[in-house]
Structure 1
Amino acid sequence: MQYQGVLRKMQTEFTDPINYYLIMDGDFIQMNQIIGKRIHIEFVKYECLACGENKKIFRQGYCYDDFYKVPQAADWIMKPELSKAHLDEEERDLEYEKKVQLQPHIVYLANSSNIKVGVTRKTQVPTRWIDQGAHEAIEIVEVPNRYLAGITELALKEHVADKTNWRKMLKNEIEDVNLAEHRDALKKYIPEEAQQYYIDTNEETHIHFPVERYPEKLKTLNLDKTPAYDGTLKGIKGQYLIFEDDTVFNVRSWEGYVVRMELL
């Protein structure tokens, strides 16, 4: 069976374990069902997620020109403390910025390879944690806009990491910790503007991934260097496909690439 389509991050369903779906042209693949099967992945062409043209992808699924134009790639995406929609100030597209920034956001602790602090829209819980490969997570504050979440994350980053060690995450070198205790210890560092939004009544969310075998020595599949690859899928964690030969493929890193996938 053969599929073709432009890569976007896999859609997920919060089940035990997580269900993954890869959307292709006019169809989708229920990825859990092909774990244990041999598959072929082949690069076909580029398709910018903004203009749709066959132009080399620069970053985040966009060609060079669109990356510097579309609001979905503006600086406030990665640095929420730069959000200005609450001030009625436009960066690239005020309508879009208000739609995304002026809604409830969560600052959270997640544990994938280590404890890290992060920000996401409330509507993206627990999707954001799944995409990061976190096996446990907990909310710290729920604030009414992205700016407040950003300055809270910025303050907490002084006391806890804000990056995931993706290699440790994929090798499943994890340690269960009491995230509620860590959340409580961080409360005093929350900025005054966000103190009223602190959450102290919730419990950890636990996440299990469909993995038959974790890799020992990681090899990353790079479509620019290896445009065609065959391998037996052994699991999925975060947005990574894990293969029997210890190759891992980060689907999200290759958004905007059109690929052909075939079950062998």
Structure 2
Amino acid sequence: LGQVIKSGPVVQIRDGNGNVSVFEDDDGGAQTYAGPLAVMINLASASASEIYSAAIQDYERGIVIGSTTTGKGTAQVQLDTLAYGQATLTQRKFYRVTGGSTQNKGVVPDIKLVDIYNEEFGERKAKNALKWDTIPTAPFKREGSVLQPYVQNLAQMSQQRVSVDPQFKYLEQRKAIAKKTDEQKRVVLDIDQRKAELNALEQKTLEAENQRRSLTGQKPYANWESYQASVDALIESRAKMKANQRPALAEEETFVTESANILLDYAKLQSSKAASQ
């Protein structure tokens, strides 16, 4: 955080006794980068990445894009010297510089994109998760407070692109299919009816994939079996590669591209405002 802000607190930590420690940017006011900034988050963003994105948001230093984070605002210590077994003890809780916890609620993005995890996990799903709460704000100075006037326009321009993007349309369809399946509270015991439901689910998934392929100039799959074989082959080939050598999947790359477009829109809006003044 010290690389992109000039100075000030970056996170507050409260221990079990209620003592609050404020951790500051300690590089003497140095700022490596002061230009337009975007931070991408989703439900898999936890702990340190939540501290980072929360501070970027509170300082209004950049645009936070994506979906709400996991809400893991606590720190633990592993007790492995017990007579029997092990235990994990929660010792501290993280708080934003504005005083709100990152626990449970997580960080809500400025510009929302589809949640690919569909709220499948996170602190909000855990039993007996610690609640969200607040402590006093740590004194800090925002980096210009220039973002908020643009958020509505940025969100509208982003939605226009997302609504016609083949990859985002595919992800939205897959999310809707998964949500409908999750919301079905009953289990069919009749084997023929169960097979019919599974076939219908496969057909909807295949249709979503083939629609994406048609819109991106690729040949649609003839049936579920050929689609599944292709997916299995892709998984196998990627498993043989080192993580840093795997090319980004099209549905992953679209988040990066859209974030870049939002950042470009932001820079243009700032330039237009500066020119008019």
TM bin (shorter chain) = under 0.3
**Which has the higher Rg, Structure 1 or Structure 2?**
2
Could you say which structure has the higher strand fraction? 1
Relative to the length of structure 2, the TM-score reads 0.23
Q: Relative contact order: is structure 1 or structure 2 higher (C-alpha 8 Å, sep ≥ 6)? A: 1
